[in-house]
A and B are shown apart, each in its own frame.
Chain A
């Protein structure tokens, strides 16, 4: 079973910030949280990962709560091309990624 829970779907207006929440209350202290996205029928694309600190790169920001029980992926200025399924992922005891159903994010003009 996935260690993360995410909303099934979300909408966001083009040009606005998209905030995607994820709960991961059972991850251990040394487990990373990864975010990937998958545009329809393509391979998943890595977005960002974090352990304890907030992270930012050219695609997104990742805000992790101090207790590490949840995080939020922020796409600062969403475009139509950001429409995709977004996966918040933890790992199993063998360090393998555990994929859930993700959040279907729809960016609306």
Chain B
């Protein structure tokens, strides 16, 4: 257990559905991250929040909408996704994101399949 939980662990959705991924960290960290890992590809950073403020959005399509209501919770709202969005979505947290030391703790991921 890393102290970072993600729900659901698996999700199958149609292209017209709306769903949300949830992440919660119990580590007292101030920074949270969403990553996407497609098959046979490196992890891609999607969004970064530091002290509840979004600090990075790496050209992610608007069909992915993050929400960070507090430092412990992070959501990724999904709507009108495409089949190529099928991937493992990973949440991570760290003490903070504006430091050269940035050890991140990862959740188990949500395996998303878009039909």
Q: A41-B88, A43-B90, A91-B100 are in contact. Are A99 and B109 (CB under 8 A)?
A: no
B-chain residues with CB within 8 Å of residue A49 when the two chains form the complex: 101, 103
Q: Is the CB of A43 within 8 A of B107?
A: yes
Residues of chain B contacted by A31 (CB below 8 angstroms): 100
- Most chain B Cβ neighbours within 10 Å, of A34, A91, A99: A99
CA distance A100 to B37 in the complex (A): 12
B42 touches A2 (CB 8 A): yes
Q: Is the CB of A43 within 8 A of B97?
A: no
- How many residues of chain B are within 8 Å of chain A by beta carbon? 26
Chain A interface size range: 20 to 34
- Flag whether B48 is at the interface (Cβ < 8 A): yes
Q: Which residues on the A side are within 8 Å of B101 (C-beta)?
A: 32, 49
Judged by DSSP, the binding face of A is loop
CB <8 Å contact, A44 and B111: no
Contacts of B55 in A (CB 8 A): 94
| Option from B2, B56, B92, B104 in Cβ contact (under 8 Å) with A94 | B56
Q: Which residues of A contact B2 (CB under 8 A)?
A: 43, 45
Shortest distance from the beta carbon of A30 to any chain B beta carbon, whole Å: 5
B102–A43 contact, CB under 8 A?
no
Q: Specify which of A46, A100, A101 is in contact with B105 (CB 8 Å cutoff).
A: A46
Interface, chain B (partner A; CB < 8 A): 2, 4, 42-45, 48, 55-56, 88, 90, 92, 97-109, 111
